[in-house]
Amino acid sequence: MQHTVRLVVPEAQMSQVAVETTKRAVASGGIRLGVLDNSKGNADHLLRFIVEGVKALLPVASVLTLRKESVSLPAPDALLDQLAGGADYVISAMAD
Amino acid sequence: MANLAQLLNQPGASIEATDDFDTINRLIWDKGWGDGLPIVPPTEARVAAMLEYCDRPWNEPIAKVPPRWGEATPLLLAANAVMAGCEPRYFPLLMLAIEAMCEEPLNLYGVQATTHLCAPLVIVNGPIVQELNINGGHNAFGPGFQANATIGRAIRLSLLNIGGAIPGLGDMSTFGSPAKYSYVVAENEVASPWAPLHVERGFTATTSAVTVIGAECPHNINDHESLTPEGILMTIAGSMGVAGCNDIYYKAQPLVIMGPEHAQTVAAGFTKAEAKRFLQQHATVLVRQFSQENVDRRIRVTFKDRLANPKPDDVVYVVREPEDLLIAVVGGAGKHSAFVPTFGATLPVTRALKTANGELARSVEDFRRR
* CA within 13 Å, CB half, B171: 24
**What is the predicted pLDDT for the residue at A28?**
78
Per-residue pLDDT tens for B2-11? 799 999 999 9
Pairwise CA distance, residues A74 & B108, whole Å = 11
The reply to whether A22 falls in a domain is no
What is the mean predicted confidence (pLDDT) over B51-63? 97
- Strand partners for B171: B167
Per-residue pLDDT tens for B233-272? 999 999 999 999 999 999 999 999 999 999 999 999 999 9
Structural domain span for residue A36: 31-91
**What is the predicted pLDDT for the residue at B64?**
97
Which residues in chain A are closer than 8 Å to B12, comparing Cβ atoms? 9, 13
For the cut 90, the answer to whether the pLDDT of residue A2 exceeds it is no
Per-residue pLDDT tens for B299-337? 999 999 999 999 999 999 999 999 999 999 999 999 999
Give the residue from chain A lying closest to B347, CA to CA: A73
Asked if A12 lies within 8 A of B162 by C-beta distance, the reply is yes
The reply to whether A80 falls in a domain is yes
Question: Within 10 A of B357 (CB to CB), how many other CB atoms are there?
Answer: 7
- Test the B interface: residue of A71, A72, A73, A77 with most B CBs within 10 Å: A72
Asked if A6 lies within 8 A of B44 by C-beta distance, the reply is yes
- Test the A interface: residue of B107, B155, B159, B293 with most A CBs within 10 Å: B107
- CB neighbour burial string for A44-69, b if at least 16 within 10 angstroms, e if fewer: eeebeeebeebeeeeebeebebbebe
What is the mean predicted confidence (pLDDT) over A63-79? 91
**Spatial CA neighbour of B291 closest among B300, B280, B281:** B300
Question: DSSP string covering A22-61, please?
Answer: PPP---TT-EEEEEEE---TTHHHHHHHHHHHHHHHS-EE
Q: What is the mean pLDDT of chain A?
A: 87
Give the residue from chain A lying closest to B32, CA to CA: A11
Asked if A10 lies within 8 A of B157 by C-beta distance, the reply is yes
**What is the predicted pLDDT for the residue at A16?**
62
Q: Which residues 52-81 of chain B have a CB within 8 Å of chain A?
A: 65, 68-72, 75-76, 78-80
B278 and B237 in contact (C-beta within 8 Å)?
yes
The reply to whether A60 falls in a domain is yes
Q: For chains A and B, count residue pairs whose Cβ atoms are closer than 8 Å.
A: 96
The packing angle between helices B229-240 and B260-267, to 10°, is 120
What is the mean predicted confidence (pLDDT) over A71-95? 89
Q: Which residues 225-264 of chain B have a CB within 8 Å of chain A?
A: 250
The C-alpha of B276 sits at a distance from chain A's nearest C-alpha, in angstroms, of 26
Give whichever of A17-26, A28-37, B276-285 has the largest mean pLDDT. B276-285
The C-alpha of A35 sits at a distance from chain B's nearest C-alpha, in angstroms, of 21
**What is the predicted pLDDT for the residue at A92?**
86
The CA distances from residue B175 to B167, B180, B264, in Å, are 10, 11, 35
Domain count, chain A: 1
The reply to whether A3 falls in a domain is no
The reply to whether A69 falls in a domain is yes
Give A15's pLDDT tier (boundaries 50, 70, 90): low
**What is the predicted pLDDT for the residue at A18?**
65
| pLDDT over 90 percentage in chain B | 98
Which one of B19, B83, B344 has the shortest CB-CB distance to A2?
B19
The reply to whether A7 falls in a domain is no
B8 and A6 in contact (C-beta within 8 Å)?
yes
Asked if A8 lies within 8 A of B79 by C-beta distance, the reply is yes
What is the mean predicted confidence (pLDDT) over B347-360? 98
The reply to whether A23 falls in a domain is no
Which residues in chain A are closer than 8 Å to B82, comparing Cβ atoms? 8
Contact of B177 with chain A, judged by CB distance below 8 Å, is answered with no
Question: DSSP string covering B114-139, please?
Answer: SSS--EEEEEEESTHHHHHT---STT
What is the mean predicted confidence (pLDDT) over B98-103? 98
**What is the predicted pLDDT for the residue at B231?**
98
Question: Within 10 A of A36 (CB to CB), how many other CB atoms are there?
Answer: 22
What's the ipTM?
0.94
* CA within 13 Å, CB half, B302: 20
Which one of B24, B162, B250 has the shortest CB-CB distance to A7?
B24
Which residues in chain A are closer than 8 Å to B2, comparing Cβ atoms? none
The reply to whether A16 falls in a domain is no
Is B99 in a helix, a strand, or coil?
helix
Q: Of how many residues is chain B composed? A: 370
Contact of B47 with chain A, judged by CB distance below 8 Å, is answered with yes
- Test the A interface: residue of B4, B18, B98, B117 with most A CBs within 10 Å: B18
Q: Fill in the DSSP letter of residue B295.
A: I
**What is the predicted pLDDT for the residue at B1?**
62
Per-residue pLDDT tens for B175-192? 999 999 999 999 999 999
| pLDDT over 70 percentage in chain A | 83
Q: What is the mean pLDDT of chain B?
A: 97
